[in-house]
Amino acid sequence: MLINAPDFWRENGFTARLLAPLGALYGVFADRRMTRSGVRAPLPTLAIGGLTCGGDGKTPLAILITKLLIEMGERPAFLTRGYGRSNLTVPPLFVDRNRHNAHQVGDESLLLAREAMTVVSSDRIAAAQLALRAGASVLVMDDGFQSRELEPDLSLLAVDPIYGVGNGLCLPAGPLRAPLASQLAHAEICIIINPGRRKREQPFLYGEKIFQAHVEVTKLDCLKLRGRRIIAFAGLARPEKFFSTLRQIGADCIVARAFSDHHFYTDKELAALRILAERHDALLVTTEKDAMRLEKFAIDCGILPISLLLENQQEFVCILADSLERARFIRRF
């Protein structure tokens, strides 16, 4: 069962200290996994990761970078494991939004497939070969940063400036997917998402190549929700970020219901939300990712799309172009 980030991941309190030996052991194995030599894919490969276990903004960042690649004339393909899907043993497959649902391929895979070719598989090497045969020119892994199964040509980390690294410990004592030093050592670029919301500096990023990106909500969506009474619900690792965004754009969020990350809603849960909305004369609102898990339900629900706007985009595009050129040069020999 995938859960929300627990509160004790934010501070080095009693529970975190109690679990610290397990976190240290997990960190040892995660560090070994990150330092192993991966297989080089037949195509230039980008790995996009998050420092912590969900909520850093990894998927919106992957979508932003893929849009930039398309503008550069590339044919990107997402490679993803499809977290939350029911069958992890099926061969690599292309995500078809008209045929697949979140149970089959995962909610994030459906989101990614709106932007570009998306291959779901636990075997990233086989997935890369399938994307190559389908005409892809570059691979984008939105969940392969820590695995190193495929050797990336460019590695990027999404950083939440408020949450940072939490208490700085590895799972299950803290939120880190791998020791901080290991992750930073493998990241050519760190992207701070919503830097204006920063409550404290992030000294661990000193000396890293840093870009900044801002969460954007369209003016139309802001106007639709500004002053509107809403019941917000979300199944995310850190749902408070979604609730905060709604309040920032002026929505009257009278109730906020958090569910576990990648939660599959039941008829009973949705019926309770409908009753709550009717009682308060309010609109139900959720995230795009949650909407991928609601497609089989007939529910009147508002959806708040978000996107990222990158500062110094031209400089970033130059780095992308140089990385692709270098990767292709290496593969000629």
Look up tokens 């970078």; give the residue: 65
What is the tens place of the pLDDT at every residue in 138-173?
A: 999 988 899 889 999 999 999 998 898 999 999 999
**Structural domain 7-74+137-215+309-331, CATH architecture:** 3-Layer(aba) Sandwich (3.40)
The answer to whether 7-74+137-215+309-331 and 219-305 have equal CATH topology is yes
pLDDT for the residue 199: 47
Per the omega criterion (within 30 degrees of 0), is the bond before 172 cis?
Answer: yes
Q: Which amino acid is at 46?
A: L
Band (1; pLDDT cuts 50, 70, 90): very low
Beta bridge partners of 233: 257
Q: For the chain, what are the domain ranges?
A: 7-74+137-215+309-331, 219-305
For residue 208, pLDDT over 70 is answered with no
Question: How large a percentage of the chain has pLDDT more than 70?
Answer: 95
Please state the pTM of the whole predicted model: 0.94
**E strands, 70-197, where?**
76-80, 93-94, 117-120, 138-141, 154-159, 189-193
**How is domain 219-305 classified at the CATH fold level?**
Rossmann fold (3.40.50)
3-class DSSP state for residue 302? strand
For residue 84, pLDDT over 90 is answered with no
Which residue has better confidence, 11 or 202? 11
What is the tens place of the pLDDT at every residue in 218-263?
A: 988 999 999 999 999 999 999 999 999 999 999 999 999 999 999 9
Going by C-beta distance under 8 Å and a sequence separation of 6 or more, which residues neighbour residue 78?
62, 66, 109, 112, 113, 115, 116, 117, 118, 119, 140, 141, 142
What is the tens place of the pLDDT at every residue in 278-312?
A: 999 999 999 999 999 998 787 889 999 999 999 99
What is the tens place of the pLDDT at every residue in 113-141?
A: 999 999 999 999 999 999 999 999 999 99
Yes or no: say if 166 and 176 are a contact pair by the CB < 8 Å rule: yes
What is the tens place of the pLDDT at every residue in 15-31?
A: 999 999 999 999 999 99
